[in-house]
Amino acid sequence: MLYLLIVTGALAALMYMLLQKMKTSPNKEENVWVTSFLVVNALFAYAAAASVLLVFSTMAVIESVSFWLFAGLMLLVTGMTTPVNYYLIERIKYTEKYEKRAKQLEHPVLVPGFTYVVEEPKTERSMQLFSEMLAKGATGLCITRTNPKELKEAHKEYENVKLYWLTEIAGEGNLRPTDLEELSYHITNFINTAQNAVIYLDGFEYLVNYNSFTKILHLFQVLKDTISIKKATMVMPLNPGTFEPQNLKMVELEFKVV
């Protein structure tokens, strides 16, 4: 009986440690976590019952019968109370954690009059923000590194959006990365003439490749002020990994980061 108690306690301790490790794993499955939680509770209840019975039982027969009766009772009680423990305590922790994550993933409300930088390696989130603004009735201007024809095919809501392709290739509706004056003109003209204007600009890094960072930052600082006066909105995706730390900090200080 003593050996059984030792083995049970060791197994319970081992599973408890595995459970703690599983709880910190970002890829844990909820059903595996719950199963482990139930088993660990049952093992600890079993070990506790065994400990109590071994201490207080004096005769071998009474000890044996009492052990199995109380062990069975404890397992039954554990089986009924563990789900309660889980849903009242652990489920609350689980829900709070994923509610917090959901809030982090929620798209923030873009307030007119501000220039927003969306820090992301790709452009999915910033494009969704732009699409949401369009769905709410905003008038859109899109300056992008993606071919406008491909963009319209992928996003039907861009049919009424004014599109410019930021590229070295000459053509109607194309903007050269070195012609900052023309770029500034199209954005400023749109802000001054459109109602509830929202500008999506994908290509900050591309512009920096053809011009100095200081020059590009200055351009968008001027545009930022115009956007503020006219109560327009600008959304710019930006990959933090492509900038030197001091340059990234300057961008973050100048614009709103979402």
Q: Provide CATH code, domain 114-257.
A: 3.40.50.300
d(CA 20, CA 224): 49
Query: Residue 9 has what pLDDT?
Result: 61
Question: Half-sphere exposure of 220 toward its Cβ, with a 13 Å CA cutoff?
Answer: 29
- Produce one character per residue of 206-239: b if its CB has 16 or more CB atoms within 10 Å, e if not: bbbeebebeebbebbeebbebbeebebbbbbbbe
Percent helix / strand / coil, the chain, rounded to 5: 65, 10, 20
Least reliable range by pLDDT among 29-33, 180-184, 193-197, 200-204:
29-33
Mean pLDDT for 136-165 is 91
Query: Residue 19 has what pLDDT?
Result: 59
Domain borders along the chain are 2-102, 114-257
* pLDDT per residue as tens digits for the range 222-254: 999 999 999 999 999 999 999 999 999 999 999
* pLDDT per residue as tens digits for the range 45-64: 666 666 665 665 555 555 56
What is the band of 105 on the pLDDT scale with cuts at 50, 70, 90? very low
Query: Residue 4 has what pLDDT?
Result: 57
Query: Residue 154 has what pLDDT?
Result: 87
Whole-number mean pLDDT of the chain? Answer: 78
Return all residues near 228 (Cβ < 8 A) that are at least 6 apart. 113, 114
